[in-house]
Amino acid sequence: MDIEGAHVLDLFAGTGALGLEAISRGAEAVVAVEKNPQVLKVARENARDLGVEDSITFIRGDALQFLKRYQGPPFDIIFADPPYELPGIPRLPDLAVQHLKPGGVFVLEHDVRHRFEGHPLLELSRPYGRTVVSLFRPLPVAPAGEHS
């Protein structure tokens, strides 16, 4: 996955590890959404300690609500590592993919109880023990003048 110059959304950011890793691999900017204020404080401190605080925008809030209300520019990559007990996990792909640029990818980590095999935007799922990483992409946009 090419991260160089990417605009990344890190949902359920926790201490910011995914966003910080994206910056270290060349992402231009990261938006990190985390609900827990104490954990978000640690994420901010981690970014400051690594000298990348100018590349990460931290938002305290609920990730599902963020996706429902977000009106800004689309992202190249969206990461989500939600709590496995979160009731909204089945809605995440549809909520997230609408905020991707054409060719973007939504990377969802979830447990084996959640199955997305029938989802039309699923590109692949890989199990790692009880954890599954699933990739979703938006449908390709037909060039102007073409009909599908």
Q: What's the pLDDT score for residue 144?
A: 60
**Tokens standing for residue 15:** 């201490």
With respect to residue 43, please indicate whether it lies within any of the assigned structural domains: yes
Domain housing 11: 7-136
Mean of pLDDT values over 125-136: 94
- Give the span between the Cα atoms of 22 and 120, in whole angstroms: 27
pLDDT band with cut points at 50, 70 and 90 for residue 142: low
With respect to residue 47, please indicate whether it lies within any of the assigned structural domains: yes
Q: What's the pLDDT score for residue 147?
A: 54
With respect to residue 65, please indicate whether it lies within any of the assigned structural domains: yes
Q: What's the pLDDT score for residue 143?
A: 64
Q: Which of 26, 56, 52, 27 is nearest to 40 (CA)?
A: 56
Residue-wise pLDDT tens digits, 87-129 = 999 999 999 999 999 999 999 999 998 989 999 999 999 999 9
**Tokens standing for residue 130:** 């009880």
The total number of structural domains in the chain stands at 1
With respect to residue 34, please indicate whether it lies within any of the assigned structural domains: yes
**CATH code at 117?**
3.40.50.150
pLDDT band with cut points at 50, 70 and 90 for residue 2: confident
With respect to residue 53, please indicate whether it lies within any of the assigned structural domains: yes
Residue-wise pLDDT tens digits, 8-41 = 999 999 999 999 999 999 999 999 999 999 999 9
With respect to residue 106, please indicate whether it lies within any of the assigned structural domains: yes
